[in-house]
Chain A
Amino acid sequence: MTQTLTLGRFFRLSLLSLGALMFLAPYIFMVSTAGKDQSEIFSASLSLIPQHFAYMANFTKALTRVSMQNLLLNGVIVCGLILVLQVVVAVPCAYALAKLKFGAARFMMALVMLGLLVPIHATALPLYVAFDKLSLLNSYTALVAPFSISVFGIFLFLQFFRAMPDDLIHAARLDGMSEAGIVARVIVPNAWPAVTAFAIFSVVAHWNDLFWPLIVVTNQSYATPPLGLLFFRAAEAGDDYGALMAATLIITLPLVIAFLLAQKRFVEGITMTGLKG
């Protein structure tokens, strides 16, 4: 697959590279800062490559001052629980809306659409009060429960399931499967591209979410990675930007690695090259 470098191709590539550079610049700067010591960060000269590599010192600080394992573990638990619950709720909902005929289907569909329009910020206060009344603040429940039903998930799966042939479901019914059996044995095994795509959206959103954890969590032992960073900055690092950047790097690393590993699946999921016969 060698292509000659025509003028048009060169132009396209440079435009794309420029765009990529613009988006990557903060990240590159972060990587650079994570390796500088205090004095260099605040020096007047701006260089991308640290003069004295202080990576060891900064990473040691980042790993020792706050419980980084705890933060990452919280992130994994919260994101994992959210994702599992979302899929478990959204897949049957989407199946029912896409393939079953029932009276309230249109009304339900309207509710889903409405749900898409309401941001979490609008419902944050009542939810906070409710969790407070239930004494559930500072818990995994408070972090996970509000996101267990994802209207976006329902919507995404709905679009995907609609494209699945009706005959497949009819065949499953004739073969003796119950509706739950159809979801588990026919729909889900064929919906992996959609589930993967949704998993990426969901995990990225909730791993990086600062807003909601900031509201319901004050106890450091339940802090998710972005919230942990906040604690780290406020309590420990002070002006130590080198260590802060090192900590940020550690927190963004799992997502970057996951993306690089699942790059192909990710693109597959987004383009949703669905199933054909």
Chain B
Amino acid sequence: MSVFSLRDIRKSFNGNAILKGVSLEAEAGEFIALVGPSGCGKSTLLRIVAGLDHADSGEIRIGDREMSQLTAADRNIAMVFQSYALYPHLTAGQNIAVPLAMRKLTGMQRLPFIGSLLPGQRQVCADIQRQVQTMAVSLKIDHLLDRKPGQMSGGQRQRVALARAMVRNPSVFLMDEPLSNLDANLRVHARGEIVDLHRRAGVPTLYVTHDQSEALSMADRVAVMIGGNLLQLAAPQTIYDDPSHIEVARFIGQPRINLLPGKKDAHGIVQFGALRLASPSDAVSDASVTLGVRPEFVRLRAEGQGALAARVERLEFLGSEVIVFAKLAAIGETMLAKVIPGEVRGLVAGQAIGLDMDPAHVMLFAEDGRRLPATPVSAVLRETARG
């Protein structure tokens, strides 16, 4: 059962299509990360869900209610902004209390002076104070409640913004790159905290980020958006191991995936160097295809061995691993291999080496970017590789 769903959301600005029909469903308590390069429309989508912007067409449902005609305030959606958007003239405590006060107090009760004379106002205010306090304690910001946003650090502001969003038990939680203004150390720490909070609150969350490691590490499912299309929505592991589209493969993964041009013959066989893959589905012969292989599935071999001949361009030492950049002799493309430091001992730039790809992990993409099924053909003809 989905508690939150988007169906075919479309939006264009001045004739430029920003969202080209995005559909998405979230289960109860699910954490979905919306990831994509800047300008892919992910923030626009978030704004449309929040009710701050209107879609040209499409449907937004929360539970069984259609939301697209409701105002932002009526949707009961909370959002954490990239800039936190705390009210600069209010203290942290007052900031957290605003959404509660707007919902629990009537217009008359909110008036200064007059409000405090009305019956029941005192009771509600005490209630709000208690909730603010509870929220603050659970986020460990109770010592900051009297400070204004200007007197707080980035991390503290981010917590106050989280508290303000969570205090009123929203039905959906939106986050627009809430960690991008924090320094690297704090960011990793805050990741864990947000996941923790999410688990406790159990509210479906849509988390927008351009940082793939954030998306992969935090989310239950990752939605990859590129160029206004939602290309794949799947668990992080699936997104990484089994991308459904070449753009997803290209965007996800650090260091980037190796993409090599190939041709498929009439029998549905793709040959690249000594590697042969069978891709039976398509009948078209001589179609151009792209082979993709993650750097960790590329093995280094001695010169003259391996399926592909290459020359080392440079090495990038990353501590627990080394990235080897090697230019393929046959086509001049640079291929990346991720290996443990022990394997590159004695390797220098300019040295000729051989490369092997793990055939079970080579992916095949059609010309339009679709993923094609591929099964390795066992016969490996090493000799033809070094032509």
Give the interface size bracket for B toward A: 20 to 34
User: Given that A177-B102, A190-B89 are known contacts, is A170 also in contact with B79, CB under 8 Å in the complex?
Assistant: yes
Using CB atoms, name the residue of chain A closest to B102.
A176
Partner of B79, one of A174, A177, A277: A174
Using CB atoms, name the residue of chain B closest to A191.
B89
Using CB atoms, name the residue of chain A closest to B103.
A176
B175 to chain A, nearest CB (A): 12
CB atoms of A176 and B73 under 8 A apart: yes
Using CB atoms, name the residue of chain A closest to B149.
A277
A176 to B52, CA, bound (A): 12
- Contact string against B for A residues 66-80, beta-carbon threshold 8 Å, 1 for contact and 0 otherwise: 000000000000000
A174 to B82, CA, bound (A): 15
CB atoms of A177 and B73 under 8 A apart: yes
- Contact string against A for B residues 58-91, beta-carbon threshold 8 Å, 1 for contact and 0 otherwise: 0000000000000111000111011111111100
Residues of A within 8 A of B72 (CB): 170, 173-174
**A115 on the interface (CB 8 Å rule)?**
no
Interface centre among B82, B88, B98 (most CB of A within 10 A): B88
**A239 on the interface (CB 8 Å rule)?**
no
CB atoms of A174 and B98 under 8 A apart: no
CB atoms of A277 and B84 under 8 A apart: yes
A146 to chain B, nearest CB (A): 32
Give the interface size bracket for A toward B: 20 to 34
CB atoms of A170 and B99 under 8 A apart: no
**B19 on the interface (CB 8 Å rule)?**
no
A179 to chain B, nearest CB (A): 10
Residues of B within 8 A of A178 (CB): 73
Interface centre among A167, A171, A172, A276 (most CB of B within 10 A): A171
- Contact string against A for B residues 37-51, beta-carbon threshold 8 Å, 1 for contact and 0 otherwise: 000000000010011
**B11 on the interface (CB 8 Å rule)?**
no
CB atoms of B50 and A277 under 8 A apart: no
CB atoms of B50 and A167 under 8 A apart: no
A165 to B87, CA, bound (A): 11
Interface centre among A167, A174, A178, A190 (most CB of B within 10 A): A174
CB atoms of A175 and B102 under 8 A apart: yes
A171 to B80, CA, bound (A): 8
Partner of A186, one of B51, B87, B99: B87
Residues of A within 8 A of B311 (CB): none
Using CB atoms, name the residue of chain A closest to B83.
A167
A167 to B80, CA, bound (A): 10
Beyond A190-B87, A277-B157: 17 further Cβ-contacts under 8 Å? A167-B81, A168-B88, A170-B81, A171-B81, A173-B52, A173-B71, A174-B50, A174-B78, A175-B99, A175-B102, A176-B103, A177-B102, A186-B87, A189-B87, A277-B84, A277-B149, A277-B150
17 cross-chain CB contacts under 8 A:
A165-B83, A167-B83, A167-B85, A168-B85, A168-B88, A170-B81, A170-B85, A171-B164, A173-B72, A174-B72, A176-B99, A177-B73, A275-B88, A276-B88, A277-B84, A277-B88, A277-B157
Give 8 nearest A-B pairs by CB, closest first: A176-B102, A167-B85, A171-B85, A176-B73, A189-B89, A175-B99, A167-B81, A173-B72
